[in-house]
């Protein structure tokens, strides 16, 4: 009997210890769960705050983009207005104007036509060169100077009180086209001669070639590619330097070699 009582007490004690341990573990688990719930709640609050902040930033960004677009539009309008005023001022002082096409090559060695415009206006004998949306090499400036000098000699024109403006401009899509200063020389000289003489260039005659101080026209590269571009543009006569007609071959339009700019002028400039 005493043994049974001791055993019973021992069992009860063990059960009490187990109960206390289980209760403590349960307490710890409940506390941990509560802490996790608090953490989740805090993270949820933080997420909501971040979402709200992101939404505010997005609205701010939209407003900034809108303001930027408005300013870009205003700037674009201001630039267009300034260009219009500049053109009007140039037209007021303009003495003569001539237009032609320059033949150039792109990165794929394909021929392209780039618009050339020469304006002679009242001034102080200065030469201005404006190139837009095309690449050009370091010889273009000197080539343009030589072309104007040759044109002045051919026509006997004094530019002491005149400025010459040379515009070479292309559409944005042709910005990879390269204008070689050398190969543009003869076209610049022809356009300048026509402007100085007050005559009109034929729209169906184009030229490629460099210009030298002795008025001769020098060899260029890509003669065939340029001639094909000229034909596509509607030219019926394409003028090339001496010795380069064979490089062009038969393309369906007349190819004529010219030795000097005076020779070229006889074909390209209308007599009246």
pLDDT tens series, the chain, 272 aa: 566 677 777 777 777 777 777 777 777 777 777 787 777 777 777 787 888 888 888 888 888 888 888 888 888 777 776 766 566 555 545 678 899 998 888 778 888 888 899 999 888 889 988 887 666 667 788 899 999 999 999 999 988 888 999 988 876 555 556 665 588 899 999 999 999 999 999 999 999 999 999 999 999 989 999 999 999 999 999 999 999 999 999 999 999 999 999 999 999 998 76
Looking at the structure of the chain, the number of domains it has is 1
Structure tokens at 239: 């003028």
Asked, for residue 68, whether it belongs to a domain, the answer is no
Asked, for residue 91, whether it belongs to a domain, the answer is no
- The burial of 222, by beta-carbon neighbours within 10 Å (0-12 exposed, 13-18 middle, 19 or more buried), is given as buried
The pTM is what? 0.66
Asked, for residue 89, whether it belongs to a domain, the answer is no
Largest CA distance in the chain: 146
Neighbours of 154 (CB within 10 A): 19
CATH number at residue 203: 3.30.230.10
Asked, for residue 76, whether it belongs to a domain, the answer is no
- Give the structural domain span for 237: 97-268
């Amino acid at each position: 009997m005493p043994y049974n009582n001791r055993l019973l007490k021992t069992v009860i004690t063990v059960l009490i210890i187990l109960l206390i341990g289980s209760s403590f573990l349960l307490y710890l688990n409940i506390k941990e769960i509560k802490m996790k719930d608090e953490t989740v709640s805090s993270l949820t609050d933080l997420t909501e705050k971040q979402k709200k902040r992101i939404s505010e930033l997005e609205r701010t960004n939209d407003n900034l983009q809108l303001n930027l677009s408005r300013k870009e539009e205003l700037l674009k309008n201001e630039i267009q207005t300034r260009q219009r005023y500049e053109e009007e001022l140039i037209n007021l002082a303009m003495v003569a104007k001539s237009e032609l096409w320059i033949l150039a090559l792109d990165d794929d060695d394909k021929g392209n036509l780039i618009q050339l415009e020469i304006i002679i206006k009242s001034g102080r004998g200065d030469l201005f060169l404006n190139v837009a949306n095309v690449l050009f090499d370091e010889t273009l400036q000197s080539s343009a100077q030589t072309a104007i000098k040759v044109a002045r000699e051919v026509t006997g024109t004094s530019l002491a009180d005149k400025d010459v403006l040379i515009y070479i401009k292309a559409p944005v899509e042709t910005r990879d086209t390269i204008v070689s200063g050398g190969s543009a020389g003869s076209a610049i000289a022809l356009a300048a001669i026509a402007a100085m003489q007050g005559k009109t260039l034929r729209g169906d005659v184009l030229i490629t070639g460099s210009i030298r101080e002795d008025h001769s026209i020098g060899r260029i590269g890509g003669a065939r590619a340029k001639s094909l571009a000229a034909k596509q543009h509607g030219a019926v006569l394409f003028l090339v330097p001496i010795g380069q007609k064979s490089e062009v071959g038969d393309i369906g339009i007349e190819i004529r070699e010219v030795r000097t700019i005076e020779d070229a002028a006889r074909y390209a400039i209308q007599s009246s």
